[in-house]
């Protein structure tokens, strides 16, 4: 079992380069199934979720060659299997993108019920509603989902909730459908735009991604031999921005898209931190105790739920009492119990947590309950007095590339230890 051991009390200083976005990559890779040919994808984050999807794509018949550490060539000419291995697909959430892609490609797919971070109930009713509206028959039972269709026909679909996954999945299923599909009340996250850009680069006709109405005009086929670069990770950039604030440090965050970070920047300025933008880099610095703020998580362009735990660390040491209202997930405050072991004073009930800011955190053994909780605990360990040991770090490896190396370069004393 691996753990991270952090000797705390460091002000983070220096430069960090942001990797490609996990949540875009885990959708773009299944989207390659819609191409009967090859494509090159670069700026691909080298994380365990990406490796699992590549292995699943291989099981379905794709040929994958890693040409560089962050670049692959995928050949999807010979997809010959419509049953994705249950054990592999039920390990992570984004396996549901295989449904939209394979419905489009083969008209049939069976996958395990999606796993991923335990953030409370994670229904997929809106995905199923979309597939059924397009003409697919979907069956859920015995831990798996099967979807079949002889022909998908474009239609109008209204999403009852703003869902990243359902928006992308319906977009995937519609690309090769007959006629036009309209998604109303679509999610607008940067990775939705990125998946649409990828598909359009390969010959799809998708308009309006990034707004709440997306129109997909079905095309007969996608073209082969395209190259695409995955968008920088908004959440990873947000993690380092808040690490700079919490540690009273100064970090130049390179390869990011500052507009995607506006909602985080706004809160950092409210807290009393500094943000300077230079093209595709952003410098975040702070030299005083953060001020209290209220935060409510919302779909993009609101404050991202995936940066909520990292913000929670900042508020645990802020001057005064702060409140976070989590509006997306039922169970996203599990990390607060771990921060309390480190001396924080946080009361979480339902979707609200109250942070009574303390002067400092103290190192302790803690457990990462999910991916972003794990990132938050790393920041907590870096600013705490003494030594913090973080367990369950496979969650962190699912979504952050070389995380301890990146923090080490910024001055953190962090080691990965195999017990
Ligand atoms: C994606 C992200 C996840 C992020 C989340 C919200 C990926 C792989 N994961 O997850 O990191 O936290 O967006 O930004 O991109 N809902 C339904 N029915 C559905 C689908 C969703 O009721 O069919 C609800 C969910 O319970 C949740 C809300 O809609 O309350 C948003 O979920 P959604 O945007 O779908 O999240 P994911 O795509 O699973």
Same domain, 172 and 241: no
CA of 165 to the centre of ligand 1 (A): 6
> Rounded distance, CA 259 to CA 113, Å?
35
Same domain, 74 and 164: yes
Q: What is the pTM of this model?
A: 0.97
Q: Atom 13 of ligand 1 has which residue's CA nearest to it?
A: 164
Q: Which helix (H) or strand (E) holds 2?
A: strand 2-7
Same domain, 251 and 215: no
CATH of the domain at 299: 3.65.10.10
Same domain, 222 and 260: no
Same domain, 278 and 311: yes
Chain centroid to CA 328 = 14
CB of 242 within 6 A of ligand 1: the answer is no
Q: Last residue of some domain: 165, 199, 229?
A: 229
Would the pLDDT of 117 be above 70? Answer: no
CB of 306 within 6 A of ligand 1: the answer is yes
297-353: per-residue pLDDT in tens? 999 999 999 999 999 999 999 999 999 999 999 999 999 999 999 999 999 999 999
Site to substitute for ligand 1 among 53, 114, 163, most atoms within 8 A of C-beta = 163
Q: Last residue of some domain: 210, 229, 248?
A: 229
Q: Which conformational region is residue 81 in: left (phi greater than 0), alpha (psi within -120 to 50 degrees), or beta?
A: beta
Report the sign of the C-alpha dihedral through residues 6, 12, 14, 16, in that order.
positive
155-178: per-residue pLDDT in tens? 999 999 999 999 999 999 999 999
Same domain, 132 and 261: no
Same domain, 14 and 47: no
- How many domains does the chain divide into? 2
Same domain, 404 and 341: yes
Same domain, 217 and 258: no
Same domain, 216 and 314: no
Q: Domain range spanning residue 412?
A: 2-19+232-418
* Tokens 């007969």 sit on residue: 220
pLDDT of residue 143: 83
Local confidence band at 90 (pLDDT 50, 70, 90 cut-offs): confident
Choice among 54, 106, 117, 256 that is catalytic: 117
Q: If you average pLDDT over residues 346-361, what whole number do you get? A: 97
Q: Last residue of some domain: 178, 209, 229?
A: 229
pLDDT of residue 2: 94
Q: Atom 17 of ligand 1 has which residue's CA nearest to it?
A: 123
Would the pLDDT of 114 be above 80? Answer: no
126-152: per-residue pLDDT in tens? 999 999 999 999 999 888 899 999 999
Q: Atom 29 of ligand 1 has which residue's CA nearest to it?
A: 163
């Amino acid at each position: 079992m691996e753990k991270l051991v952090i000797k705390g009390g460091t002000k983070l200083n220096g430069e960090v380069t942001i990797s490609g976005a996990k949540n875009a990559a885990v959708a773009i890779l299944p989207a390659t199934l819609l191409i009967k040919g090859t494509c090159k994808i670069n700026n691909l984050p080298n994380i365990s979720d990406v490796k699992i999807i590549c292995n699943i794509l291989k099981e379905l018949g794709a040929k994958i060659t890693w040409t560089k550490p962050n670049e692959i060539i995928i050949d999807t000419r010979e997809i010959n299997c419509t049953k994705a291995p249950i054990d592999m697909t039920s390990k992570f959430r984004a396996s549901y993108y295989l449904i939209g892609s394979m419905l489009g490609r083969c008209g049939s797919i069976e996958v395990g019920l999606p796993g991923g971070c335990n953030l409370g109930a994670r229904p997929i009713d809106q995905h199923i509603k979309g597939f059924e509206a397009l003409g697919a028959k979907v069956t859920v039972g015995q831990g798996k989902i099967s979807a079949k269709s002889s022909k998908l026909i474009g239609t109008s679909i209204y999403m009852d909730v703003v869902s990243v996954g359902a928006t992308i999945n319906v977009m995937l299923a519609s690309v090769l459908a007959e006629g036009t599909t309209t998604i109303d009340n679509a999610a607008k996250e940067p990775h939705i735009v990125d998946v649409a850009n990828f598909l359009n680069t390969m010959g799809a006709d998708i308009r309006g991604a990034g707004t709440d109405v997306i129109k997909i005009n079905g095309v007969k086929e996608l073209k082969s031999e395209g190259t695409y670069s995955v968008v920088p990770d908004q959440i990873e950039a947000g993690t380092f921005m808040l690490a700079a604030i919490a540690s009273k440090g100064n970090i130049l965050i390179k390869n990011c898209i500052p507009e995607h970070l506006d909602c985080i920047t706004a809160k950092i300025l409210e807290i009393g931190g500094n943000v300077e933008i230079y093209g595709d880099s952003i410098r975040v610095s702070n030299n005083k105790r953060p001020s209290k703020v209220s935060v409510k998580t919302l779909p993009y362009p609101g404050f991202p739920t995936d940066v909520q735990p990292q913000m929670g660390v900042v508020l645990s040491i802020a001057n005064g009492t702060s409140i976070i209202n989590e509006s997306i997930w039922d169970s996203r405050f599990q990390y607060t119990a771990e921060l309390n072991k480190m001396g924080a004073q946080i009361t979480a009930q339902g979707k609200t947590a109250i942070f009574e800011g303390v002067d400092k955190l103290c190192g302790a053994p803690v457990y990462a309950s999910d991916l972003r909780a794990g990132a938050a605990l790393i920041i907590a360990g870096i600013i705490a007095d003494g030594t913090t040991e973080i367990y369950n770090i496979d969650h962190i490896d699912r979504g952050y590339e070389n995380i301890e190396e990146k923090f080490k370069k910024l001055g953190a004393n962090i080691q990965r230890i195999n017990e």
